Structure formats: C-alpha cells, structure tokens
Amino acid sequence: MPNHQFGGMIRPYSSELALLSRILDALLIWFGLGCLIELFGVRAGSGYTNAALLATAFFLFLAETQAIYISWRLVSIKRMSLKVLLVWFSIVILLVGIAFLTKTSASFSRRVMLSWFVLVPFLMILQRVFMQLVMRALRKHGMNTRTVAIAGAGESALKIVKGIFESDWMGLKFVGIYDDRSELRLPLVGGKNLEISGNLRELVLEAKSGRIDYVYIALPMKAESRIVEIVNALADTTASVYVVPDFFIFDLMHARWFNVGGVPMVSIFESPFFGVDGWSKRLEDIVFGTLIMILIAIPMLIIAVGVKLSSPGPVIFKQRRYGLNGKVVEVWKFRSMKVCEDGGHVPQARKNDPRITPFGAFLRRTSLDELPQFINVLQGHMSIVGPRPHAISHNEQYRRLIHGYMLRHKVKPGITGWAQINGWRGETDTLEKMTARIECDLHYIQNWSLWMDVKIIFLTVFKGFVGKQAY
C-alpha cells in the first residue's frame, strides 16, 4: 500500500471546513464592527445591528456567486484575496447606497464605518492566508496531498503538468504520463517528445494498487472507444477520474455542461450572465448607475442647455443599435452633430467632420455626450461595462468581415469596456482597428467577473473618457 496514510486526513472534512469558513466570515463582520464601536466609544444602536445583518447576508450570498468557499486546494491566495475584496467592495457600495436612499447615513459614525469597511476584508484575507499556510505546512510533511497521473500524451497533458508544477500550493504530486504509444510515435509537444511512464494497462494497475488518487484522461476526442475502455477499467479502482476534452480546438466562451433528458452536452458559445451571475451584473448596474446618476444630474442639465443653445435640433439623439442577443435597442446620447442619422448608411465620425458642432466636438472628445446612456442602463437596455454598441449598418458590414463579431451580442452593450481602456476608442477607419476592438470585447466576455467590471470602471475615469481617436 502507498505510504500516504495521512493524505486524506482533511479531505473528508472539506465541507466542514467550508462551513467553518462561512461562520468565521460572519463572525469577523460582527466582531470587527463591535470592536470599533467600543474603540471609538460610540453608542451602539439598531442601525449598526441592521448594517451588520445586511452585510453578513449579502456577503454570504455574493460569496457563493464568486465560489469563495470552494476547496482551498484549487485557488491561490492572491486570487482568493481579490475575490474577497471584490465581494466586500460590492457590499460597501450597497450599504452606502441604502444609507443614502433611506437618509440614515447621519446616524452612523463615519470613523467607525470607514474603519469597518477597511478592517473586515483585512481580517478575512488574514484568516485565509493563515489557513493556506497551515495547509501548505501539512502538505510539505506529506499530509493532505494527492497523487496525479495522466492518461494520454499530447498538448492537454503538457498543459496539465505545467499547471501542477506552477501551482505547488494545490498539494498535487505528479506521478507520470501513461500512453500506449511509444515515445518515438508520439507527436512533438513543446519541441520535444514527452517522457512516458508506462502504458494505459500499467496505469490501471497503479490505480488499483492505491498509489494514484487522481487520473486525468487527456486523450483526443476522436479516441472515444479508448476513453470508454479506460474509464470502465478505472471503475474497479478508488481513484477519482476526470476526462479532459481537447476543447482547445474551439474558441470556448464560458463553456458549461448541461444535461438534457439525461444526455450531457457542453456549450461552446454562451453568455457569462447565467442565473446568479446575471443577477449580480444587474445589481451592479442598478447600484453604480443610481449613484452615478445622482452625481451627474446637474452636469447633464448644464450640458442639455448647452446643446440646445449651440445649434437647432433635439437635445437627445436616439440611435438604433443591436443589444443583447441582437435585439434592436435605442441608445441615447447628447446630440453632437447637426444631423440625426439613423438609416441604412451611417458614416463613422472622423477628424474635422463637418457634421459635428463645436460644442459637440468638446462633448465627443470628453465622452460627455454619452452620459444619457446611464438612463439606458437603469432601463435595462444597456450595462455600464460591456462591448460598445455599433450602428446597425456597421454591424451588418463587419459581421461578414470579422470572425466571431456577433458573439459580442451575447451580453448587453456597455457605456465603457475593455476595448475602451485599452485604447480602442473612437474611429475605426481600418479593418485591423475594428478587429482589435472585437478581440478586446470577446476577451471581456470570456474572462468576465465583477472584479473585472470594477477595474474597468476605475480605469475609465483615468484613461477611458478621452482618446486621440475620439472625434
């Protein structure tokens, strides 16, 4: 038998550890607030109790959406810390918004609340760092580790091995790669042949002996019969078996497994905003959108007067654009041109465009013309962060020229986005520029998170409002 009798010491209690983590997070929220109330000598009232209750409930809810309580073996300290900060930052915004709307902010001590907002995430991260260090110390002594073997030598196997060695904190010990082909018959991976530890029959024997905890089957999809054969053979072992489909041949976009009538299937192109993620995104838009509308109400009124006095025509220009799932929506902007074009052919604004009014040129350079789109956000037609909406005529033009162009409509169009903070704002007078913008849009959809949205909003303040190509 293998010499890792302590290897599973913590594994049976993983659910208990997750429950303990939830309890500790709740206690830290209450403990932090209670200590600060005592420290600053503030009289505790029902307002603080309500704030703690709301913070605890919303934190535990949002933490589930961000998978904060999954196995610590699978997530790095840095990534976990960022998730904690993201969720707590969302809670802070929510609490501040509720206090403002209910006109109860004056009943709270600013010193207590600001200190609490900073202290709680610090304590939560400290707790997780401590637990991770304890886990790593146990793994260094051979406790709570798992042995891993890979069936199939190819690109997927190389990626798995690389991931294991780069993430030693997971406590995974690589045993070897098993394949029925000889090393001479294997394709070159990374410029060299992979070293083979044995054939697939030997892998099954190793798993039966108890020396292998995890088996990753990384055979190509075309080897269906071979995959079924080895899965059936491994059913006579205690090893955990994972199939690693070589889906890297596709441009996966938030792939998910589904079950329809007992038949499993995986999505290739899908929106990231399913279920709770969709609710989180909408909550983000409502909270941020409401706060921003309060801040920009007076500037919008001043701009509206300026538009009306600078040239004849409506203050608000409404143009049809493609929205979520390709449905047509009206996007609002302050009118910046002498014309209101919304037909089959809409030329892009260019440098020294005669259609643009002098006041409109200032609005466009500073993106102030787009402020009415926050109304579109609250209406639910747009999101604060997402791919910028293009005129319908431009959509029909570029969908034929750029691969994956229409995938940007798997999410709501946004006021700002990943493309804008990376310099792809304004005129796209070449196909290469539009392609670069679309690549940024698809990168955003493939990698979306609430933290990414917060990052984009923050960077937009410094680099997304103005640009050399904004005419």
State pLDDT tens for residues 170-200. 678 888 889 887 665 565 555 555 678 889 9
Domain termination site, one of 140, 167, 188: 140
Same domain, 363 and 233: no
Maximum Cα–Cα distance for the chain, whole Å? 87
pLDDT at site 144: 62
pLDDT at site 1: 33
In 3D space, the residue among 384, 470, 461, 362 whose CA is nearest the CA of residue 423 turns out to be: 470
As given in the structure block, the two tokens for residue 365 are 């350079």
Same domain, 280 and 420: yes
Strand partners, 264: 259
pLDDT at site 114: 94
| Global confidence as pTM | 0.55
Is residue 91 within a helix (H) or strand (E), and if so which, with residue range? helix 77-101
> d(Cα 217, Cα 203) in Å, to the nearest integer?
11
Same domain, 199 and 285: no
As given in the structure block, the two tokens for residue 7 are 């290897």
pLDDT at site 258: 58
Domain termination site, one of 140, 160, 190: 140
Domain termination site, one of 74, 106, 140: 140
Going across the sheet that includes 172-178, the strands are 172-178, 146-151, 214-217, 240-243
Residues 6+ apart with CB under 8 A from 129: 77, 81
Helix axes 450-463, 275-310, angle to 10 degrees: 20
Strand partners, 391: 321
Same domain, 163 and 127: no
pLDDT at site 24: 92
Instruction: Find the domain containing 215 and state its range.
Output: 146-249
Q: Which residues in the chain land under pLDDT 50?
A: 1-13, 471
> d(Cα 300, Cα 374) in Å, to the nearest integer?
11
Same domain, 434 and 314: yes
Same domain, 298 and 376: yes
Same domain, 168 and 69: no
Q: Tally the domains of the chain.
A: 3
- For tokens 């070159």, the residue is 188
